[in-house]
Chain A
C-alpha cells in the first residue's frame, strides 16, 4: 500500500493548541535518523562469543613461554613444587605459656633484666645481637666454628658414653694402672713447673696412699684369699693370683719421692724408697757406650706389666733408632773419589728412611739389639770416614774392629755400586741357540733356503695392485663394430668410434689404504654389517655429520668420568614415588 507519512497523521492535530507541545516533539523526532534494528539473538551471541574468545585466547596465551620451556627442557622433575617440611622448634609452639605464680614472675623478671634466655632458644639475645653486628662472612665463619665445636663435643660425648658402658674387669684394671702412672708422671712435671700446685697434688696423692693403707683390700685377708690360700700349696695359678694381690698393694702404697732442689738439703734419701722417675736418656753416653742409649727397664714392673710395657717400650726403641738414623749419614767408601767436595756432597745425600730386612723383630730386646747394631755400624763407618778424610784414599776392606759380630748384614750403598769397576760380561748379540744335536742341523739356514725365492714384499704389492684394479669401476663398452664402417674378423673399430662409445665412469673415491703401503683395506660392502647399519638419515637430523657425531660419542663409564656419565645419562623425567603430581599452577612458574 502507500507509505504512511507523519505529516499526514499530524494534520488533524494542527488547529488544536492543546497538543501543540506534542506536535513540536513529533517534529523534532522526525528530523532525527531512525535507530538501527537491534541484532538478532544469534548475532548478538556471536559477537559476545567472538570477543570472549579473543580475550580468553590472550589470557591462555600467557602460558606459551612456560610451555615451550617445558617442552625443550632436558630434564623435568615432578612434582614441580617440592616443599621440604621444616620442623618448627618447640619454643615457637610453646610460646603462649606465661608465668603465673609470684616465684615464677620473680625469676623471669630477673632473667629478663639480664637478657637471659627464658625459653632456651637456639641463640640467646646476646648471641643474636652479636651475630647481627658481624658481617655475613664473619657470621658464616663463626657459625662454622660453632658447628665444628658442637660436632666435636658430640663425638666426645659419644665416646664417653661408650666407655662408660664397658664392664670388663681386665680393662678396668689396666685403665686404673695406666691412670696411676700417668698421674705420677704429671706430678713429676708439675714439680718442675709449679711447686705450689705440686704440693697440693702431693697431698692428694698422699690421701690416696693413705686410703689404700687403711683399707684391707689387697692384703689377702678376705674370704676369697683364705680359700685360695688353702689351694695355693698345690696350684700355681692360685699362688700367682695371691701374689698379684700383694704386688698391687705394694704398688698402691708406694710413697711418691719428691726431689725439691733448694729446700731439704739434708734430708735423708729415704728408708726404703723406690724412686719412681720418668726414664730419661742418660746424658754423656756419647759414642763410647752406645748400648746406654737404649731405654732402661723398669725396676718395679711385675710379670703382667711386661705385656703392656712391650708396646710403649717398642715405641721408644723405634723412636731412638730413628733418632740414631737421622743423625747419621750413609757411609761412603772413598775408594776412587779424589775431591773432598765430592765426599762432602755425598755425605749430604738423602737418608735411608726404611731398611728392609728379612728377619722380624718382635721383642724389646731384639729392638734394642737392632738399634745398637745399626748404631755400631754407622759409627764405625763414620770413624772410617774420619780416618780417611785427611788424605788416605785407600780402601780398607778388612778394616773392621774385631768387636763386630760376624753375622752382620751390610747396607748396600749406591756410591759403592756406581763407582765400582765394571765387570765385563760376554753378551752375544743374537740369542744363541743351545745346540744339543751333534749333526749341527741349522734350522734357520734351512728355512732361509726353503723360502729363498719368496719375495714377500713384491708379492704383496702385486696383490694390492690387483685389488685396486678390481675395485676400480670398469668403463662401459658400447662399441658395436660395423655400424658406419667395415666390420669383420680381424678388423678393429676406428679410434673415433671407440672414443665415442667407450663410456668412462666417474673416478672412484680415493681408497682408504692409499697412504698405507703395507695394508690392503677391502672396500667391499659387508652384508652382515650392513644389516645393522642405518641406510637413510633419520628424521630429526639434517646433516650426516651430526648424526654420525651423535653415534660416535660414547656414553658409558669406560669412556667417561663418573660425573660426565651421570650428566649424559640423566633421565628426562624424574618423579617421586608416592607423591601426587598436581596440575601446573601460576605459583609453580
Chain B
C-alpha cells in the first residue's frame, strides 16, 4: 500500500503512542494468568527437584518420605515412582547425558538410578548404591565428566566407578548444606555451609579457593549459565546476593523483596533473570541487574515453597512446596503460548517496546508494577518498611549528633558481608 509518511499528515505522535502504551499495560495485566497447573501425587512435602538435561517435558522430584517421582509435564502425570530412601530425599541430580540420576537421602546412602523405566516384571533397583558414614545433605553432578560431588560433613568429589571419594575438600568444621558445579568453567564448585559462609573450590587443584562470610546463613547458591564468574546466593536474611567470583568483598547486587527466608534459587537459561522460592509462600522473579523483583507468584493453596526450577527453554517455572504439590507457572505471565502469526508477533513486540519507552510515566508505572499480594505478605512488607525506616533514621540521627566522621557511611552492599577469608 503506498503511504505518505509526511509527519503533517500524522500529528500527535506522542499522545497517540502514550495512549497505546497505557492500553498495552492494562491489557498485560488483564492477560496475566501465569498459573498453568499442578502436579499432584506426592504424599509428603517436596524437598528437591531435578531437570532432565535432554527432555523438556520430564522433571524429577524427591519428597520428604523418601519417594522419587518422575513426571511428564505435557500430560501432567507421574510416569514413575520409586521409593528411593528411608527418610528425606535430601538432594538429587541428573547426569549430563540424561540416562541416569543420583539421589542422596537421610539413610546415608547415595544411589544411582536408570532414567528409563524398568521392563515389565523387573523391580525398581538402583544401578549403584554407595553407603557412607555420615548423612549427605546435597549432591551435584559435573556438567561434562563422570564425576559428582556430595556435601554433608565435607565436600566429597566422587568418580562414578568408585565407592570412595576421589578427594575430600574441607575448610572448617561445620556442616555444608548444598554444593553446585559451575556449568561453564566446570572445575569450579561453590558450597554453602551452616556457619554463614560460602566457599568456592577448584576440583583440578583439589583445594578450596576463598570463603566469604555473610550475616546469616545461605541456603543455596546457583551459578549463572551465561556468565562464568557470577553466582547468586539465597540467604536467610530475606535477601539474595549476586556475587562476582573475583571480587567477593562486595556483592554485585542485593536483591530485596522477600519477607521471609529465601530457600531456593534457579537461573533462567538465558542468564538474564532468576527465580527464588521463599518461606513466605511466594515465588519471585528478579532480573540480574535490578534490586527488586519484576514478578511475584502466589496461591492460597501454596504453602512454604522449598524448591524452584526454571525449565531449559526459559518459558516455565516449576516450584515444589511442602504441601506436596508441584506447580507449573509461565515465566512471562501475560505471554501467549504456542505459535503466533507474524502480525500477532509484530503487535506484541510493538506493545512491549511502547511499554519500555513510557515506563517512567506515573500512570503507566503504577499499573505495570501493581500486583495483588496475600494479606500476610502485604502486612509484612509494610512492617519491614517501617523497621527499615526506623533503622535509617537512627543512623542519621547518630551521624548528626556525633563527631563528623565517627559514624562512617557503609554502602548497602557491604553491610551484609562480615568478612572474606583467604
In the assembled complex, which residues on chain B have CB atoms less than 8 Å from the CB atom of A531? 362-363
A571 smallest CB distance to B (angstroms): 5
Name the contact of B362 in the complex, choosing from A63, A76, A534 (C-beta under 8 A). A534
> Which residues of chain B from 58 to 95 have a CB within 8 Å of any chain A CB?
none
Interface residues on A, range: 35 or more
Q: Give the distance in Å from the alpha carbon of A70 to the alpha carbon of B227 in the complex.
A: 9
Of all chain B residues, the one with the shortest Cβ separation from A571 is B349
Contact of B207 among A52, A59, A538, A570 (CB under 8 A): A52
- Residues on B with C-beta less than 8 A from A52 are 202, 205, 207, 209
Asked if A60 is an interface residue, CB under 8 A from chain B, the answer is yes
Within 8 A of A (CB), among B161-212: 183-185, 188, 200, 202, 205, 207-210
B98 CB → nearest A CB, Å = 10
Q: How far is the CA of A493 from the CA of B17 in the complex (A)?
A: 58
Q: Which residues of A contact B387 (CB under 8 A)?
A: none
A38 at interface (Cβ–Cβ under 8 A)? Answer: no
Tell me the complex Cα distance, A281–B381, Å.
100
Q: Which residue of B lies closest to A56 (CB)?
A: B202
Shortest C-beta distance, B190 to chain A (Å), equals 12
Mostly, the B contact residues are loop
Q: Write the nearest CB–CB distance from A14 to chain B, whole angstroms.
A: 52
Assembly CA distance A70 to B360 (angstroms) = 25
Q: What B residues does A579 contact at CB under 8 A?
A: 313
The smallest beta-carbon distance between B407 and chain A, in angstroms, is: 27
Given contacts A53-B422, A575-B315, whether A532 and B360 have CB atoms under 8 Å apart is no
Contact, CB under 8 Å: B13 / A559: yes
Q: A56-B209, A60-B229, A569-B346 are in contact. Are A577 and B339 (CB under 8 A)?
A: yes
Contact assessment for A559 and B10 in the assembled complex, using a CB-CB cutoff below 8 Å: yes
**Which stretch (A254-262, A342-350, A581-589) binds chain B?**
A581-589
B126 at interface, CB cutoff 8 A: no
Spot the interface stretch: B147-155, B299-307, B350-358. B350-358
Pick the interface stretch among A17-25, A43-51, A155-163, A455-463. Answer: A43-51
For A581, the chain B residues whose CB sits under 8 A away are 225, 269-270, 312-314
- Contact of B56 with A by CB under 8 A: yes
List A contacts of B14 (CB < 8 A).
551-552, 554
Residues of B within 8 Å of A59, CB to CB, are: 185
| B7 interfacial by beta-carbon distance below 8 Å | yes
Whether B272 sits at the interface, judged by CB under 8 Å, is yes
Question: Knowing A531-B363, A575-B313 touch, does A78 contact B184 (C-beta < 8 A)?
Answer: no
Contact of B7 among A48, A55, A61, A559 (CB under 8 A): A559
Contact of A559 among B5, B202, B354 (CB under 8 A): B5
Pair B18/A580 contact, Cβ less than 8 Å: no
Contact A556 B20 (CB under 8 A): yes
A568 with B10: in contact, given A575-B313, A575-B314 (CB under 8 Å)?
Answer: no
A559 to B183, CA, bound (A): 46
A280 touches B (CB below 8 Å): no
Q: Is the CB of B207 within 8 A of A573?
A: no
Interfacial chain B residues near A86, Cβ < 8 Å = none
A550 within 8 A of B: yes
Given A70-B226, A569-B353, A580-B312, A556:B143 Cβ within 8 A: no
Select one of B53, B228, B312, B353 contacting A67, CB under 8 A: B228
Of A55, A533, A555, A585, the contact of B17 (CB 8 Å cutoff): A555
Q: Is B245 an interface residue (CB 8 A)?
A: yes
B54 beta carbon closer than 8 Å to chain A = yes
Contact A573 B10, CB 8 Å, known A52-B202, A578-B56: no
The answer to whether B228 touches A63, judged by C-beta atoms less than 8 angstroms apart, is: yes
B354's partner among A63, A555, A561, A575 (CB-CB below 8 A) is A555
Q: Are B353 and A584 in contact (CB under 8 A)?
A: no
**Chain A residues whose C-beta falls within 8 Å of the C-beta of B184 in the assembled complex:** 63, 583-585
Indicate with 1 or 0, residue by residue over A52-90, a CB within 8 angstroms of chain B CB atoms. 110111011101000100100000101000000000000
Of all A-B residue pairs in the complex, the 5 with the closest CB atoms, nearest first, are A581-B269, A583-B225, A583-B183, A554-B13, A538-B360
> A residues near B, CB below 8 A?
45-46, 48-50, 52-53, 55-57, 59-61, 63, 67, 70, 76, 78, 531-535, 538, 550-552, 554-556, 558-561, 565-566, 568-571, 573, 575, 577-585
